[in-house]
Structure 1
Amino acid sequence: MKTLFFTALLFISTFANAQEISEDLENALQNDNVTELKKHITSKNINNCFKLEESEYTLLTLSIKLNAKSCFAELIAQNANVEKTCNNKTPFMYAAKYNRLTMAKALVKAGVQIRVRNSDKQSALDFAKKYERKEFIAYIKSFNQ
């Protein structure tokens, strides 16, 4: 019973921390519109987890998912947290999942830790393997040499 209670509490607290993404922010990212993005990001929301559909994303991870290259670059320039985890994935893990090698290299340049594992013990390399991202796998493996 105690385990069930704590599991329910964890589930509720996870979703209580995330907020709905505004239509303006979502549109800015979908259209890779930096000017519009700048109007809506603040130091208070740049690293928040936002609910979208059935998942949670930071603005940085959404820019990766949507391949919004200009917005991604702006978020990096504004010091978005490159290690922030939402939905049990870091931005580097999303880059692996969506095969965004150029973005992954920018994340490494920004100081991301490439060998970080999530609570399920998965790393970006595990995501690259799962989604058969050969170039990404080779890139991550190049750090072992």
Structure 2
Amino acid sequence: MKKSIIISAIALSFSIGGAHATTEPLHLKNNRVEAYFKVNSFCVSIALGDYETVKKLIDRGANVNAKSHGMTPAMYAAKYNRVEILQLLIENGAKLKTKCDKGKTASEYAELHGAHDTKAVIEEHLESKKRKK
């Protein structure tokens, strides 16, 4: 009887632990396990602020409007306050009114993350487009 109770308890603990299993790769950051999302190298370069790499990738044909993990390159630039990169993206045809998979625009990402400089660049660009019409 004791064996069957112990075996049942062990089986129950494995089934509860398995309910939280994930197939996504995980990594450790600040002593916390976080899900690792695959973002293309173009958007990683933008997030890191690597202007030269971003410029080279654009020169080699990188799509400035292609989404990576649901966000456009302009959204990454806005979120991480990468003003020069955002301007480069705009010069190469980045669409600032596009919405991510969560329904947010680059401007909303800038506002959400306190990126006042990129928010100003976006507003200025959108305002100048209105005046030209």
Do Structure 1 and Structure 2 share a fold, with TM-score over 0.5? Answer: yes
Q: How much has 1:119 moved relative to structure 2?
A: 2.1
- Determine the structure 1 residue equivalent to 2:127: 144
Pair 1:106-2:102 in alignment = no
- Determine the structure 1 residue equivalent to 2:5: none
Match of 1:129 among 96, 111, 115: 111
SS at match of 2:38: strand
Pair 1:96-2:85 in alignment = no
Pair 1:72-2:57 in alignment = no
SS at match of 1:102: helix
Q: C-alpha root-mean-square deviation of aligned residues, in Å?
A: 1.7
CA contact 2:64–2:72 (8 Å) conserved in 1: yes
Q: TM-score normalised to the size of structure 2?
A: 0.66
Whichever of the two has the greater Rg, that structure is 2
Runs of 4+ in 1 over 3 A off after TM superposition: none
SS at match of 1:55: coil
Identity %: 25
Give the whole-Å Cα distance in 1 for the aligned partners of 2:51 and 2:111.
24
Query: Structure 1 regions of 5+ residues with no counterpart?
Result: 1-11, 16-52
Give the whole-Å Cα distance in 1 for the aligned partners of 2:98 and 2:83.
17
